[in-house]
A and B are shown apart, each in its own frame.
Chain A
Amino acid sequence: MSGQNTSEQPLAPAPSLRELFFGMLQVAISSFGGGLSAWSERIVVEQRRWMSDEEFLTGLTVARLFPGPNQINMAVYIGASFRGLAGALVALAGILLVPFSFLMLLGLAYFYLHEVESVGAVLSGVVAAAAGMALSMGFKIAGQYVRDPVAVVFAAAVFLALNNFHQRLIPVILVSGPLAMAWYWPRRGKRELQP
C-alpha cells in the first residue's frame, strides 16, 4: 500500500473522538448562511485531510441512499468510518450542537412572541416564501425521471395516494417501495442504464 498517491499529499492519521467532534463543530459553524455540503468537503478533505476526495464521495453516496437527513448522515459516515459507533455519535453531536441550540432559542422566542401582532405580520410573508421552497423540492429532482414512463407512473401513484386518497406515508412506502424495487431489479439487459 505504501507509495500510492505519491503525487498527492498524504492523508492525516485517523482523527480521535475529540478531533471528530471539533471538526464537525467547525463544519456546522462555517456553514452558517448555507452550503453545509461544500463546507463539509472543504474541512474534512482539504483542510484536515481525513479522507481523500474519493472516500468523501463514497460517503455522500451512502448518506443520500440511506434514510435520514443527508448532511447528518454524512457526519455519521465520517465518524463511523474512523471510530465506529462512538465516532458516529460524537460527530453527530458536533454537527448538531450549534445549529440545534440556535433553533431551540429561536423556538423559545417564537412561542413567547408569536401572538405579538407585528411578529405575526412579518411571518405571514416569510411562510409564503418558505412554502415556495417546499414546492420547488419536487421540481428540482423531477428532471431525471421524466423520460422514464414507469418512474412517472410510480411518482404519480404515490402522489395520488397521499394527496387525493389521504393515505399515510408509511403504508404507501411499504407498498410502493417493494414494487418499485422489483421493477428496477438489475437485469442483464438493463445493466447499462446509468445509475
Chain B
Amino acid sequence: MSLTIPVLLAAKAACEPVRMTDWHNLLGVIWDFLSLSLFSLGGGNTLLAEYHSIAVHKYCWITSDQFADIYAFAEAAPGPSSMIVGLLGMGAAWREGPLWALLSGIAAETAILLPSTLVMVVASLSWSRFKDSPWRMAFERGMGPITLGILFAVGLKILQTADHTPLAYGVSVLVCFLMLRTKISPLWFMGVAGVLGGLGWISRY
C-alpha cells in the first residue's frame, strides 16, 4: 500500500498528453492500432484492456473515468462495440479541435480494422482450401481457452475502471447475472442504471 500510492502519483504526474497533430506521434498511434488488429481474438472485446493501457497510461489521451464512459457508449450504441477505437481516436485529438478529433477517430478505426479485414478477405477466398487443414483445427481449438482467459482479465479490468463504490460493484454483478440468465436487452440495464445515477442513487466515488 505505502509503495503503490506514490508510484501511482508519479505515473500520473509524468504522463503528458500526446498532441495528435504531431505527425510522428500520429504515426505511432496508428501503428499501435494496426499492430493490435490481428490479435483481436473472439470478436474484438479481448483488446479492451490493451486499449485502456494505450489511451490512459501510454498516451494520456483520456482519464480512466472517461474510458469507462466511452466503453459504455460503445456498448450502448448500435453496431459492433469494437467501434470504441473511433472514440479513443477522437479523445486523442480533442485538444486540437473537433475536426481533428473526427479525423483522428476515423484514422484510428481504419487502423484497427485494416489488417484484420485484409486477412479476412484472403481467408474468405481460400477457405475451401484450408478448412480441413490441421492448422485450422488446432487454431480454432487452441485459441478458445486463451480467449476465455483474456475475457476474464478484460472483464475485471473494466470493472475496476468503472466501479469505485460497493454499490457500483453490486450493480455490475447484478447486470452480469441478468446478462447470463435472461434475454433482456442490455440497453434496459443501462437505461435503468442511468436513471438511478441521474437521481443520485449511484455515484462514481
Contact = CB atoms under 8 A, between A and B. Distances in A.
Nearest to A76: B120
A151 B153 CA distance: 16
A137 B103 CA distance: 31
Nearest to B51: A169
Contacts of A57: none
B139 A65 contact: yes
A65 B140 contact: yes
Contacts of B198: 118, 121-122, 125
A80 B121 contact: yes
Interface string A82-103: 0011001100100110111011
Interface string A140-159: 11101100101110111111
* Interface size range on B against A: 35 or more
Given A68-B120, A130-B72, A180-B143, A155 B36 contact: no
Contacts, number: 365
Given A67-B41, A100-B79, A132-B172, A169 B186 contact: no
Interface stretch (A6-14, A15-23, A43-51, A106-114): A106-114
Contacts of A80: 120-121, 124-125
Contacts of A72: 80, 82, 113, 117
Nearest to A157: B149
B21 interface: no
Interface string B172-205: 1111111110000111011011111110111110
A130 B106 CA distance: 24
Nearest to B156: A163
Interface in A165-186: 168-170, 172-173, 176-177, 180-186
A36 B35 CA distance: 27
Interface residues of A, number: 96
Interface of B is mostly: helix
A104 B86 contact: yes
Contact of B159 (A33, A131, A168): A131
A68 B39 CA distance: 8
Contacts of A71: 79-80
Mostly helix, strand, loop or mixed at chain A's interface?
helix
A28 interface: yes
B59 interface: no
A107 B155 CA distance: 23
A186 to B, nearest CB: 5
A123 B71 CA distance: 11
6 contacts: A70-B43, A126-B190, A131-B68, A132-B174, A134-B48, A186-B137
Chain A to chain B: the 9 pairs with minimum beta-carbon distance, closest first: A125-B197, A132-B175, A99-B79, A158-B149, A68-B116, A180-B142, A130-B72, A131-B162, A129-B193
Given A72-B113, A128-B168, 12 more contacts: A84-B125, A88-B120, A110-B87, A111-B98, A111-B101, A123-B194, A125-B197, A127-B163, A131-B161, A172-B150, A183-B142, A185-B138
